[in-house]
Homo-oligomer: A and B are copies of this chain.
Amino acid sequence: MDCDVYVPRLKASISQWRQQGVKGVWIKLPIRHAHLVEPTVKEGFRYHHAESDYLMLVYWIPETPDTLPANASHTVGIGAFVMNNNREVLVVQEKSGAFGAKGVWKFPTGVANQGEDIWTAAIREVKEETDIDTEFVEILAFRQTHKAFCGKSDLFFVCMLRPLSFDINKQDSEIKAAQWMPIEEYMAQPCIQEHESFKYVAEICSGQSNSSCSGFRPVPTLSTSGKKSYTYFNKLQLQNKKKELGG
């Protein structure tokens, strides 16, 4: 669409919206219409969010404070704790990054894709980095960090998975080495001992296999709008309650 056509139409629409008492107006501009960004901003719109291929602009018309929903604020990452029957834990050395440079052996980690469940992301990352098949058990802990990438926050979920296969075939582009390592050896690494949050997690993980009172397990649920979702909680708690009720 040409600016000469777009701008008068936009002006007319805004004055109509104002008359109708419309509050928030959204305009989603595909990246191929990048030439319309400037004229839209000139008419009073601000940016709301952007993805690779579009920019979402918004205009709050009334004088009242804007109640527009916020932009996404968090990235979601996972770390996978996978232990075999010999109390050996699945660890990798990364090719790049601070941990790679120090030669730290760490859990497979990664970022959840847009729209991917936490438990699915954990299984996928372990498979991608080590070729080990796993089933998801539970979330042991999570950490919230702010001012991470681009000022956004991050939620990092430590997931326990049960190995279904044992022969490692490491991914080449990002992983220098992968192995099953005795949990005591993993925990003794200076990097784990030095960082509070790693240390907590390592302690939880090492205790985990003997414990039944535990983390949060996913249960498929429907949201109020009928969307499939997963609710994570301590299932034991619900079972105890049901026993108390004679259920």
Contact = CB atoms under 8 A, between A and B. Distances in A.
Given A231-B197, A232-B144, A211 B74 contact: no
A223 B143 contact: yes
A37 B37 CA distance: 7
Each complex incorporates copies of this chain amounting to 2
Contacts of A149: 69
Nearest to A211: B237
A196 B97 CA distance: 42
Interface in A112-152: 112-115, 117-118, 140-152
A190 interface: no
A186 to B, nearest CB: 16
20 contacts: A31-B41, A37-B38, A47-B52, A47-B53, A50-B55, A50-B71, A55-B55, A69-B75, A71-B72, A73-B74, A73-B76, A74-B74, A141-B232, A141-B234, A142-B232, A143-B231, A145-B223, A200-B231, A203-B238, A207-B238
